[in-house]
Amino acid sequence: SKEFPTDDSVLAELLGTGKYLQAVNSVSLAIKPGETLGLVGESGSGKSTLANLVTGLHEPTDGEVRFEGDPLPTATQRDRATLSDIGMVFQNPRGSLDPRITVRKAIKEPMHAAGWSRERREERANQLMEIVNLQQSFGSRYPYELSGGQAQRVAIARAIALDPKLLVLDEPVSALDVSVQAKILNLLIELQDELDLTYLFIAHDLNVVEHIADRVAVMYLGEIMESGPTRQLFEKPSHPYTETLLSAIPEVKPGGRSDRVVLTKDPPSPVDPPSGCVFHTRCPDAGDRCAEEEPTVTEIGDAESRCHFAEEVYERG
């Protein structure tokens, strides 16, 4: 099993005033406090790797992860104070909970690990169940007795238990029914407001992030292809890959994108990425130079695009 190559090349930084994430060979991204950055890409694009670097689950072999200006200690060096600044919510809510422990115990676990007193843990657990809209009676249930949405509420309660600044949400609604997805997204939007949270929201398609993200970064084979304000990316994308992701969204908007090319070929192996522009083997707009020359970053409006023809793509948007 080969590791995704960006483990070696990703430099991720999060700064307090204009936090940003930067992956080597890609554009830099700003996550401002209180903002949501949507990170979108197909599986294998490296988005989870990036998330794991931010949360310290992976250790970069080259480069570093910064939080509020200082390099994050690697996972093994971390103390509780640093860990409590960043919470994480995973895709599979039931799988991320220990099947042998009750909801209430699961919610109290991070506080236990942080050395909180029993009294403080009980009080905070009550409060957290209220915050995520779970009846107190659910406290005695086990994960198998919960719906996917209820389990995700428990996972969110755990993630915010220690009052983090940043939540990394790795496809938090992908495994849920569509009707439940909206409820969880609304809960996350409410929590962000109430608790002053900053979100890194990872998704494999664009429509999930449309309503929650302030800015979006589109990742492909370990590189950020385009990043910018959500509205601009949806209305006037400046990268062909963003266009193809938009054309994959089922509801076609008025004046829509139904005529756009949809990707058919599988993505190349991230272990041996194509030369030049990494997207050239699937790009409907690829020209001769694309296989040879790696595109630099072009600023377009408030977005940044890594395409030789960014302006043209934006203009036709």
Summarize as ranges the residues that interact with ligand SF4 (CB under 6 A). 239-240, 277, 279-280, 283, 285-286, 290, 295, 307-309
46 binds, among ligand SF4, Mg ion, none (CB under 5 to 8 A by kind): none
Distance CA 73, CA 71 (A): 6
Binding flag, residue 96, Mg ion (CB under 5 A): no
Q: Smallest distance, Å, CB 48 to Mg ion?
A: 3
Q: Which is nearer to ligand SF4, 44 or 295 (CB)?
A: 295
Q: Smallest distance, Å, CB 181 to ligand SF4?
A: 30
Binding range to Mg ion, per CB under 5 A, among 45-53, 121-129, 184-192, 275-283:
45-53
* 162 and 110 Cβ atoms separated by less than 8 Å: yes
Q: Which is nearer to Mg ion, 22 or 48 (CB)?
A: 48
Q: Smallest distance, Å, CB 285 to ligand SF4?
A: 4
48 binds, among ligand SF4, Mg ion, none (CB under 5 to 8 A by kind): Mg ion
Q: Which is nearer to ligand SF4, 4 or 309 (CB)?
A: 309
Q: Smallest distance, Å, CB 203 to Mg ion?
A: 10
Q: Which is nearer to ligand SF4, 96 or 244 (CB)?
A: 244
Q: Smallest distance, Å, CB 175 to ligand SF4?
A: 31
CB contact set of 311 (below 8 Å; sequence gap of 6+): 238, 298, 300
Q: Smallest distance, Å, CB 284 to ligand SF4?
A: 8
Binding flag, residue 52, Mg ion (CB under 5 A): no
Distance CA 257, CA 272 (A): 32
**Binder of Mg ion out of 45, 48, 238, 281 (CB under 5 A):** 48
Binding flag, residue 49, Mg ion (CB under 5 A): no
Q: Which is nearer to ligand SF4, 174 or 247 (CB)?
A: 247
Binding flag, residue 298, Mg ion (CB under 5 A): no
Q: Smallest distance, Å, CB 263 to ligand SF4?
A: 12
